[in-house]
């Protein structure tokens, strides 16, 4: 099969698929570096900055399942090209924004593009690479995504040293142009030739249901888990997603066929992926704050110091396919998660006085575990769905990542904040002369504590006490969150070992739809150089 014209340019095509993926990966992290400059230039409040970040995440997560299904139906190359154009328009819109409201709207529009691009990249790989090469192609895909996560902060820091904040959006344009031109030349079309009519009720239930769920998770991490708007969002999510599951179990043209979940290669890998992202996103969320605010590195210096994580993850991801051939999916994923757990446990011992040498060891350990686990888990998900449903499988993989990551930031962030607030409360006894609004600011965040301490009206003894107490409180909260993240990863390793088959069980190996028909691996329609 691999010698047919269908696959003749598959590896060149993979290059431009990875370029398409890279723009999303970089955009996920590059913006964080620019937030202080955006706050200064546009007068954005903390709430505004939160929405600049969250508008993208909300739209992205809510549309993934729908866009994966649409790609299967209308053509994966076509939907990828459409997504790239939308992302390019959104990047230009964001770069030219002159108010926070316009920037928030542009970020939401970018989320539409990302929700189209992300599942399309992985579904094209799955639909066009033969089974014996697919694991290596997905490993390269995962390596590029990890590399982009590390490149983003460095590129952002470098751009902001010479240019305005909007440069972090302008930089997307040449990358998108490269992906569009290369894709037009080297990517052919593939689609589900037997696609049923659109699952309109599934779309109408899944989009608001996922939006409500992600909104509730994000807001819970900011205002608390018992606030009325959070409870209403979770309630709406339960109702809408419950109705979605009920409908998908009965619909003849289901967008997400629930029989996929009978295959443990699909269910086990999605469960493991959610738990991995829960701990990783929740724990690494603290690292940039730790490096910049506690240890005093600039944005560029902090970004450079994250690079070993990205490089290690890229190398390990690229090698993971060969390791999986030797150990099997179950053992490789479980081993990777165990290594990740040990890395988080190691990092739970960081101190205010820790050196970069201490930090880089922890980064390399967690990157090694991440690289080993994510690629074979992704391959397990994609290998367990029929090729004609590759877009749905990819979208499910991406949705799992987003939900797990958002939940991790919210839950572990709440744990860290609770410890931080409790520990800085001692400042009321240490510095009784400070007004209540200063204590309130210090309790809000470690960044606010450092800003208040820098006020020339604050006495020297109080300045030292504020910085010392806030730094210690933040590190204590971060360590507590990482320790819990480590424990969750230990549980995830057990889950992966118990649920995952050691070899990916393709669709058709005992997995049937509601009519009793088995789905078997099939040659896709021409793609990647037809």
Q: Domain of 335: which CATH number? A: 1.20.1250.20
Please work out, in degrees rounded to the nearest 5, the angle formed at the alpha carbon of residue 257 by the alpha carbons of 24 and 243: 90
Q: How far apart are CA 52 and CA 149, in angstroms?
A: 19
State whether residue 518 is helix, strand or coil.
strand
Do 102 and 165 lie in one domain? The reply is yes
pLDDT score of 235: 96
What letter does residue 356 receive in the DSSP assignment? H
Q: Quick check: is 237 in a domain?
A: yes
**Calpha distance 57→482 (Å, rounded):** 23
Same domain, 269 and 357: yes
The per-residue pLDDT for 521 is 38
pLDDT of res. 5: 36
Evaluate whether residue 459 is within a structural domain.
no
Mark whether 42 and 177 lie in a shared domain.
Answer: yes
Higher pLDDT, 515 or 34: 34
Provide the percentage of residues in the chain whose pLDDT is more than 70: 93
Between 100 and 442, residue with greater pLDDT:
100
In 3D space, the residue among 134, 148, 198 whose CA is nearest the CA of residue 27 turns out to be 148
* 246 and 380 belong to one structural domain: no
In a domain, 216, yes or no: yes
442, part of any domain: no
DSSP 414: H
Whether 504 is covered by a domain: the verdict is: no
For residue 131, give the 3-state DSSP assignment.
helix
pLDDT bin (cut points 50, 70, 90) of residue 6 is very low
pLDDT over threshold 70, residue 529: no
Please name the residue that has the structure tokens 């201490």. 358
* Residue 522 pLDDT: 36
Whether the per-residue pLDDT at 450 is higher than 90: the answer is no
pLDDT tens digits, 132-188 = 888 888 888 888 887 887 788 888 888 888 888 899 999 999 999 999 999 888 887
Task: Give the confidence band of 520 by pLDDT, cuts at 50, 70, 90.
Answer: very low
Residue 301: Cβ within 10 Å count: 15
Residues 6+ apart with CB under 8 A from 433: 459, 462
Helix locations, 328-426, DSSP H: 329-347, 356-383, 390-424
Kindly tell me if the per-residue pLDDT of 92 is higher than 90: yes
CA nearest to 496, candidates 290, 341, 291:
341
Taking residues 183-195, what's their average pLDDT? 79
Residues 6+ apart with CB under 8 A from 357: none
For the segment 237-254, the average pLDDT, to the nearest whole number, is 90
Residue 449 lies in a domain: no
> 400 and 386 in one domain?
yes
Model confidence over 226-236: pLDDT tens digits?
A: 899 999 999 99
H helical segments located in 43-75: 46-74
Residue with tokens 């990249």: 121
Which CA distances in Å does 497 have to 264, 275, 371, 509?
Answer: 11, 13, 17, 20
CA distance 298 to 213: 35
Residue 432 domain-assigned? no
Q: Answer whether residue 271 is part of any domain.
A: yes
Mean pLDDT within 61-82:
88
**Tally of domains in the chain:** 2
Handedness of CA 317, 319, 324, 327 (dihedral sign): negative
* Matching residue, tokens 């320790």: 483
265 Cβ contact partners less than 8 Å away, ≥ 6 residues apart: 329, 380, 381, 383, 384, 500, 501, 504, 505, 506
Helix or strand holding residue 183 (H, E): helix 172-186
pLDDT, tens only, 326-382 = 999 999 999 999 999 999 999 999 999 899 999 999 999 998 998 899 889 988 988
**What does the block give as tokens for 305?**
């110091």
113 and 90 housed in the same domain: yes
Q: Give the pLDDT score at 472.
A: 93
pLDDT at 398 over 80: yes
- Residues 188 and 215 occupy one common structural domain: no
- Do 178 and 239 sit in the same domain of this protein? no
Q: Identify whether residues 310 and 409 lie together within a single domain.
A: yes
My answer on whether 213 and 340 are in the same domain is no
- Strand-pair partners of 512: 518
Per-residue CA distances from 524 to 8, 67, 123, 238, 508 (Å)? 14, 19, 11, 36, 16
Question: Which of 118-132, 372-386, 433-447, 466-480 has the lowest average pLDDT?
Answer: 433-447
Same domain, 62 and 133: yes
pLDDT, position 170: 93
Task: Work out the average pLDDT over 283-310.
Answer: 82
375 & 287 share domain: yes
CA 31, CA 148: separation in Å to the nearest integer? 13
Mean pLDDT of 56-81: 88
With a cut of 50, say whether residue 49 has pLDDT above it. Answer: yes
Rg of the chain taking only CA atoms, in angstroms = 23
Q: Is the pLDDT of residue 513 over 90?
A: no
Task: Give 289's pLDDT tier (boundaries 50, 70, 90).
Answer: confident
Range of the domain at 328: 5-199+251-424+471-499
- pLDDT score for 285: 72
Q: How many CB atoms lie within 10 A of CB 361?
A: 13
Q: Give the H/E segment covering residue 19.
A: helix 10-42
């Amino acid at each position: 099969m691999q010698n047919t014209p269908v696959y003749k340019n598959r590896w060149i095509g993979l290059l431009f698929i990875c370029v398409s993926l890279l723009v999303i990966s970089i955009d996920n992290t590059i913006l964080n570096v620019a937030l202080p400059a955006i706050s200064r230039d546009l007068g954005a409040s903390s709430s505004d900055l939160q929405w600049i970040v969250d508008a993208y995440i909300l739209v992205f997560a809510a549309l993934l399942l729908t866009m994966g299904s649409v790609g299967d139906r209308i053509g994966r190359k076509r939907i990828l090209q459409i997504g790239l154009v939308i992302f390019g328009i959104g990047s230009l819109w964001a770069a030219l924004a002159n108010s926070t409201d316009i920037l928030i709207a542009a970020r939401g529009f970018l989320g539409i593009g990302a929700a189209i691009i992300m599942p399309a990249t992985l579904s094209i790989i799955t639909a066009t690479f033969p089974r014996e090469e697919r694991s290596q192609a997905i490993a390269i895909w995962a390596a590029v995504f990890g590399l982009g996560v590390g490149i983003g902060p460095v590129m952002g820091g470098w751009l902001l040293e010479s240019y305005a904040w909007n440069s972090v959006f302008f930089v997307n344009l040449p990358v998108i142009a490269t992906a569009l031109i290369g894709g037009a030349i080297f990517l052919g079309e593939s689609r589900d030739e037997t696609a049923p009519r659109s699952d309109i009720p599934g779309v109408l239930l899944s989009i608001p249901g996922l939006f409500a769920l992600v909104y509730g998770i994000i807001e819970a991490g900011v205002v608390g888990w018992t606030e009325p708007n959070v409870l209403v969002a979770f309630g709406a999510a339960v109702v809408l997603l419950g109705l979605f599951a009920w409908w998908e179990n009965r619909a003849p043209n289901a967008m997400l066929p629930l029989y996929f979940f009978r295959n443990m290669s699909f269910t086990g890998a999605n469960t493991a992926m959610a738990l991995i992202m829960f701990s990783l996103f929740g724990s690494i969320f603290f690292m940039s704050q730790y490096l910049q605010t506690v240890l005093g590195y600039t944005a560029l210096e902090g970004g450079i110091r994250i690079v070993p994580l990205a490089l290690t993850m890229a190398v390990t991801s690229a090698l993971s396919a060969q390791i999986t051939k030797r150990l099997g999916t179950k053992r490789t994923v479980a081993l990777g998660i165990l290594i990740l757990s040990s890395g988080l446990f190691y990092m739970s011992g960081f101190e205010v006085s820790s050196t970069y040498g201490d930090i880089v060891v922890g980064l390399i350990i967690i990157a090694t575990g991440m690289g080993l686990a994510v690629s074979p888990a992704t391959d397990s998900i994609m290998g367990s769905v029929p090729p004609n449903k590759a877009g749905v499988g990819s979208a499910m993989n991406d949705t799992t990542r987003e939900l797990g990551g958002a939940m991790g930031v919210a839950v572990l962030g709440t744990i860290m904040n609770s410890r931080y607030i409790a520990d800085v409360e001692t400042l009321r006894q240490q510095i009784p002369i400070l007004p209540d609004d200063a204590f309130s600011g210090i309790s809000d965040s470690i960044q606010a504590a450092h800003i208040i301490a820098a006020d020339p009206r604050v006495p020297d003894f109080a300045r030292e006490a504020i910085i010392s107490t806030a730094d210690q409180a933040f590190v204590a909260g971060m360590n507590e969150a990482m320790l819990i993240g480590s424990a969750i990863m230990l549980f995830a390793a057990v889950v992966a070992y118990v649920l995952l088959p050691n070899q990916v069980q393709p669709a058709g190996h005992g997995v049937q739809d509601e009519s009793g028909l088995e789905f078997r691996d099939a040659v896709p329609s021409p793609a990647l150089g037809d």
